[in-house]
Amino acid sequence: MGINLSRRHFILTSGVAAATAPLVGGLTAETSRAEAPSRVRVDTHPAFERAGRAYGVPPALLAALSHAQTRWQHHDGRPSSALGYGPMHLVDGAAAAQARARIGKDDFPGVLDTLGDAARASGIGADAIRTDPTANVRAAAALLARRQRQAGRPVGVHTDPATWFGTVAAVSGLATAAGQLDVADSTMATLREGGDVRLADGSLLHLPARRATIVPARQREPLQRRAVRSRRLRQGQQGTESPRGLDVEWIPAPYEQYGPNPGDYGNHDLAFRPRSPEITHIVIHNTEGYWEGVLDLVQDPTYVSWQYSLRSADGHIAQHVLAKDVAWHAGNWYINMHSIGLEHEGFAAQGAPWYSEAMYRSSAKLVRYLAQRHDIPLDRAHIIGHDQVPGTTTATIPGMHWDPGPFWDWEHYFDLLRAPLTRGTNRRPVRRGDIVRILPGFAGNVQPVTGCETAGDSCGGPRDTNFVTLRVSASDDAALVNDLGLHQKGQPATTEVADISARATAGTEYVVADVQGDWTAIYFVGTVGWFRNPRRRPTARVVTRPAGRVRAKRGTVAKVYGRAYPEASAYADPADVQAISPLPYTIAEDQSYAIGDLDPVTDYYKAKTFSLDTPGDHINTVGKDRYVQIYLGHRVGYVRRAEVDVLR
């Protein structure tokens, strides 16, 4: 039967049984071993077709709205952070209001009670709408039809979906004009361009593109004017560094001196970027906290900072630090010097309820803008997670963060960046010496993860993940590859959610050390890790034009560093010299590692005092020593050019 995803959280059932199988809280891929992976047309699935015909709503519109809200995911009846349920993301506004009153802060911003409205429109009970995906779609169709009629617009399965724009916005579940506009625009874009979700077993859920029609101006323009007016009020005189039309407000992180000493200041550093230091990376974080609390923290001069925060419910963005200045977000000063930090509201161990489609979309729009503005490559060596940031010294490695964690969908995120991770790869069988990119798929890629709430727990059952598990030999029973920098006291690697020892994440690249049947070995943190990579359903693909690889010079062992600092002779003041501390990883001459950045800047930006006028401070020292950024393991690392051969 192939891979069974019946406990996953998609609405559809693909394969032979699609037309008759009852809808459950998941998706079952009925692909046999002899068949090619199935392709399911979503708008003809009974859930959408029957609901559409019952209430006079175009089934393709229902499918496109579901894709824009949840990518057809049901999440087994679990609510999103905005208390949205089911594939149509019907929001329990009454529960949100209760939560808001209980918390005493507006941590459930701008949501409407679309679940209650849908229950009244359809006569379906609220519990069924929450837990039964078929009922969820049917209730949403009833609500759409009622609102369309109330607006005096035509209803019918063959009506032009573009004439439903205002109704889609109204039932988005969001109260803000910007949020409603985003959902409606995304729905129409999905209808116009088509939509896909590829599962880890190779099956494709597909909504075909339709002939584009024009959204009536009288439906879109009032909403757009409200969104622009609201955005201008929030941005104030400072304005924001963001693309036109994105919902971004200015909430500044304070640059304040809070003590008598020159170094008693926070919570970021003034600088002169991108002239010096350059901006080369964007770091994806999650907040491990709620929106209002996070905004309180970033406005505390004694705390740390980051450039942008993104709200889960609707993708709303707040900017705190200008790109020219250095925020304190990565736990590695070299990375801080060269990066922009984005904090996404949520909890890494929970993942999907917080990583909403609205947040993915707005984050991708912002990152595209920033990458173009600062000439940052859209790849996984430069658009990195906080969990890829290396420790600066051996002692700091165990305390480095692991967000956004195993439940962030990197492959989908890069599709939204318009830089799909499949680009530049080949599905041919891998061979020793190839450079491969990890591409396991996300939906249905179930890997062992535990400890999401309590030590050793099962994280609520199988979860979609963004990585492949690495083992010391080609066997599912073999021990996990261990990161000796993370486990410095001899502890074994585990499947705990925060333990990144044995995880090769989507989009990262490695050199193939060996191949045995459906297993591939790669060089990883100074050792070799094996992962399942079947020919029929590969979890890694050959990179067709790799940046190259490095290996230790003959007869030597290359050291690995967590930063690319200058040589001592580069500093004007000997007191400024920063130690070049090797990490506990080494590269032997019989190993090689894929290059992420062939020539990162070798520099150190000194910022120790509050005033820009302090002599000898706020200066950037650039060295002549050269480094290479590599995909070391789960995290990136740096090696000195003098210690390695670069093979291109």
- How confident is the model at residue 236, as a pLDDT? 63
The pLDDT of residue 213: 86
Write the DSSP assignment of 326-337 as a string of letters.
EE--SS-HHHHH
Residue-level pLDDT at 1: 27
Using CA atoms, how far apart are residues 202 and 638, in angstroms rounded to an integer? 35
Split at pLDDT 50, 70, 90, the class of 234 is confident
Quick one: pLDDT at residue 61? Answer: 98
Phi first, then psi: give them for residue 181, nearest 5 degrees: -65, -40
Q: Is 1 contained in some domain?
A: no
pLDDT by residue (tens digit) across 373-386?
999 999 999 999 99
CA dist., res. 290 & res. 293, Å (int): 5
Q: Are residues 528 and 588 in the same domain?
A: no
Residues 622 and 477 in one domain: no
Tell me: do 389 and 483 sit in the same domain: yes
Say if residue 535 is in the same domain as residue 567: no
Q: Are both 517 and 640 inside the same structural domain?
A: no
Note the pLDDT of residue 411: 98
Q: Domain boundary residue among 190, 225, 260?
A: 225
| Distance (Å, whole) CA 237 – CA 429 | 56
364 and 443 part of one domain: yes
Q: Is the pLDDT of residue 96 over 80?
A: yes
Per-residue pLDDT band for 4 (boundaries 50, 70, 90) equals: very low
State yes or no: pLDDT of 14 exceeds 60: no
Cβ distance 107 to 313 under 8 Å? no
What pLDDT digit, counting tens, does each position of 238-261 carry? Answer: 779 999 989 999 999 999 999 999
pLDDT bin (cut points 50, 70, 90) of residue 38 is confident
Please, which residues have CB within 8 angstroms of residue 534's CB and are 6 or more apart in sequence?
Answer: 518
Q: Quick one: 268 and 207 in the same domain?
A: no
Query: What is the reported pLDDT for 24?
Result: 29
pLDDT of residue 195: 95
Q: For the chain, give the mean pLDDT.
A: 92
* pLDDT on residue 106: 53
Q: Is the pLDDT of residue 22 over 90?
A: no
3-state secondary structure of 619: strand
Please report, for residues 134, 198, 439, 519, the alpha-carbon distance to residue 17 in angstroms, rounded to integers and kept in the order given: 16, 19, 28, 31
Provide the CATH number for the domain around residue 438: 3.40.80.10
The CATH number given to whatever domain includes residue 152 is 1.10.530
CB 72 within 8 A of CB 197: yes
Among 25-39, 358-372, 606-620, the least confident range: 25-39
| Dihedral (Cα; 454, 456, 457, 461), 10-degree rounding | 140
Query: Do residue 265 and residue 125 come from a single domain?
Result: no
> What is the C-alpha separation between 299 and 288, in angstroms, rounded?
17
Can you give the three-state secondary structure of 404-438, one letter per residue? Answer: CCCCCCHHHHHHHCCCCCCCCEECCCCCCCCEEEE
How crowded is the C-beta side of 462, counted as CA atoms within 13 Å? 17
State residue 620's pLDDT score.
98
pLDDT at 3 over 60: no
- Same domain for 267 and 207: no
pLDDT at 28: 36
**pLDDT, position 39:** 86
Instruction: Answer yes or no: is pLDDT of 31 > 60.
Output: no
pLDDT value for 231: 78
Residue 237 has a pLDDT of 57
* Domain-embedded: residue 242: no
- How far is 573 from 621, CA to CA, in rounded Å? 10
Confidence of residue 37 (pLDDT cuts 50, 70, 90): low
pLDDT computed for residue 648 by the predictor: 84
Let me know the angle formed at the C-alpha of 442 by 437 and 445, rounded to the nearest 5 degrees.
Answer: 95
Q: Are 351 and 407 in contact (CB under 8 A)?
A: yes
Mean pLDDT (whole number) for 111-120: 96
Q: Which domain holds residue 118?
A: 16-225
pLDDT for 169: 97
79-88, 95-104, 582-591: least confidently modelled range: 95-104
pLDDT at 366: 98
Average pLDDT over residues 625-646: 98
Tell me how many domains the chain contains.
3
Tokens representing 320 are: 């705190």
Residue 230 lies inside a defined structural domain of this protein: no
Indicate the residue among 210, 225, 240 that finishes a domain.
Answer: 225
Same domain, 630 and 543: no
What gap in Å lies between CA 491 and CA 473, rounded to an integer? 19
Classify residue 574: in a domain, yes or no: yes
The pLDDT score that the predictor gives to residue 171 is: 97
Which one of 517, 550, 583 terminates a domain? 550
In a domain, 78, yes or no: yes
Q: What are phi and psi of 363, to 5 degrees?
A: -60, -45
pLDDT recorded at residue 333: 98
Give residue 20's pLDDT: 28
Q: What residues contact residue 58 under an 8 Å CB cut-off, 6+ apart?
A: 52, 156, 157, 158, 159, 161, 164
> Rounded distance, CA 422 to CA 444, Å?
18
Q: Are 529 and 563 members of one domain?
A: no
pLDDT over 90 at 580, yes or no: yes
Whether residue 2 is contained in a domain is answered as no
3-class state of residue 578 by DSSP: coil
Evaluate if residue 34 carries a pLDDT over 50: no
pLDDT at residue 23 greater than cutoff 90: no
Report yes or no on 239 lying in a domain: no
How far apart, in whole angstroms, are the C-alpha atoms of residue 465 and residue 441? 8
Q: Are 287 and 346 spatial neighbours (Cβ–Cβ below 8 Å)?
A: yes
pTM, rounded to two decimals? 0.94
pLDDT in tens, 460-469: 889 999 999 9
Q: What is the pLDDT of residues 179-197, one digit of tens each?
A: 999 999 999 999 999 999 9
What tens digit of pLDDT does each residue of 497-533 get? 999 999 999 999 999 999 999 999 999 999 999 999 9
pLDDT at site 257 = 95
Residue 111's pLDDT band (cuts 50, 70, 90): confident
pLDDT value at 198 more than 80: yes
pLDDT at 105 over 80: no
Residue 136 falls within a domain, yes or no?
yes
Question: Is there a single domain that holds both residue 281 and residue 417?
Answer: yes
Backbone angles phi, psi at 266, to 5 degrees: -170, 180
Q: What is the DSSP string of 71-133?
A: TTB-GGG---TT-EETTTTEE-HHHHHHHHHHHSS--STTB--HHHHHHHHH---HHHHHH-H
603-606 vs 593-597, strand pairing mode? unpaired
